Amino acid sequence: MRSPRRARTAATSAASSRSSPSSTIRQTVVVPRSVLKPSPARALEFSEIRVQGATELCIVGEKPSVGKVDLQEQKIFNIEELAELCIRIEETCVGFAKFNFFQIVDATDNFSERRILGFGGFGTVYKGQLPNGLMIAIKRLDQHATIFDFDSELQLAKLQHTNLIRLLGWCIHGEERILVYEFMQNSSLDHYISDRTKGQLLDWSKRFKIITGLTEGLVYLHKGSMSCLVHRDLKPHNILLDYNMSPKITDFGSARTLSSDVAEGHTSRLVGTSGYKAAEYASRGVYSTKTDVFSFGVLVLVIISGRKNTILDKQEDTVGDLVRDAWHMWMDQRLHELVDLLLGDGYEVAEITKCAQVALLCAQEDPAERSTMTDVAAMLNSESTSLPMVPKQPAALIHGCADRGTTPTYMGQSSRTIEVTITSSAPMSTRVRIILDPEV
């Protein structure tokens, strides 16, 4: 291992060799931020403007929002404040420690592209190895991350559950903000679902184990920890698998805490992935534990089928084609058509049926109709092969030219949504959602 002094020299030399005479050289940063690729998940920022009677602009601003929103989401990093926060958590959370920046530089081979594991919601994740041989995952937050994103990830230090990724430590060096996690040998669930060769390694017993593990992890997030935490971005990419193929939920940069007296929150800064976002969150920025429940329901159907859940925006789709197909197959007792062909005949029909029904109960359009994760755990653990609850049929798609005045019944009012994508010389696009409310 290189000494800190040698690493610092290498870092400075690398920065100098890449900089022109007119460039600004940061002595303590190994790779200039200008060469970092922005995370795909942050390609779009959402603004929302609500208009009553299509004439009066109710909220105006750079980041207009509706209702109570997370105002801190726009807060810019204050390095000193962030370091103090990390130190306080370090003092109270066993196993959470500060890492030396140049130790991380060595562990990642100077943040080599060959070490990149993927891109999280607010940064790049690298594979690293410490001098003692321990493998770690290192998230290097990008320039667009806010202190709220970092703080959300830090909540993991206070959580201890076998189905949540473990946060090992932190590092702040100059403008670098880094978090260190345990390393998962078997990558993410996405690698198996999207790869037909690797998918053969996931037999039904492993898939069922992943479903039950995710259930336990979410019950803990919603009920078992000191506060109610809503993940808001559950998808196969954010489910890591350990050496025993047990699932661990990761990427908590989008997570938000709800107090015991608040059932839901509102935001104008939407995150998440199409096909996994609940309708009330995608259209109005409303999130609650039922937001995660919807995503979980879709995840279970994806695990069973090996299919993606495609949202047909032009046809006013609010749940996705996989959810609709699964409901019809469940009703017609054709669930064998839903099962991933890679599973062959190696599955229990009763378990598939129960998991599919639970998934459909979770993926209801109306959040009030969705099960809680506690209910899900009880249903999956029940010895009964049949469940009394019947999932409602998803709303029919609007064919042809969509009627923009039609909205799902759960919204409780007639609103129209116009989405416009604006691009400029800025490094990212901004999607503006204009909601036209009827006059009261």
Kindly list the distances between the CA atom of residue 288 and the CA atoms of 141, 153, 218, 263, 379, in Å, as whole numbers in the listed order: 26, 18, 13, 6, 21
Kindly list the distances between the CA atom of residue 33 and the CA atoms of 115, 143, 175, in Å, as whole numbers in the listed order: 17, 7, 10
Who contacts 125 (Cβ-Cβ below 8 Å, separation ≥6)? 116, 117, 118, 119, 137, 138, 139, 140
Helix 349-362 with 373-381: angle, nearest 10 deg: 170
- Known binding-site residue numbers: 139
Closest CA to 394 of 332, 336, 324, 331: 324
Q: Helix, strand, coil % (nearest 5) of the chain?
A: 40, 20, 45
Helix 373-381 with 204-219: angle, nearest 10 deg: 140
Distance between CA atoms of residues 178 and 36, nearest Å: 14
- Known binding-site residue numbers for ATP: 139
Burial class (CB in 10 A: 0-12, 13-18, 19+), 191: middle
Per the CB < 8 A criterion, the answer to whether 296 and 373 are in contact is yes
Tokens of 166: 């473990």
Per the CB < 8 A criterion, the answer to whether 348 and 438 are in contact is no
Who contacts 114 (Cβ-Cβ below 8 Å, separation ≥6)? none
Per the CB < 8 A criterion, the answer to whether 167 and 154 are in contact is yes
Active site includes 233? yes
Closest CA to 138 of 190, 87, 177: 177
| Degrees to nearest 5, angle at CA 124 with 13 and 240 | 140
Stretch (H or E) spanning 85? helix 79-92
Per the CB < 8 A criterion, the answer to whether 321 and 307 are in contact is no
Per the CB < 8 A criterion, the answer to whether 113 and 244 are in contact is no
Q: 233, 292, 317, 340: which one is catalytic?
A: 233
Helices (H), 201-341: 204-219, 279-284, 289-305, 321-331
- Residues annotated as catalytic (active site), given as ranges: 233
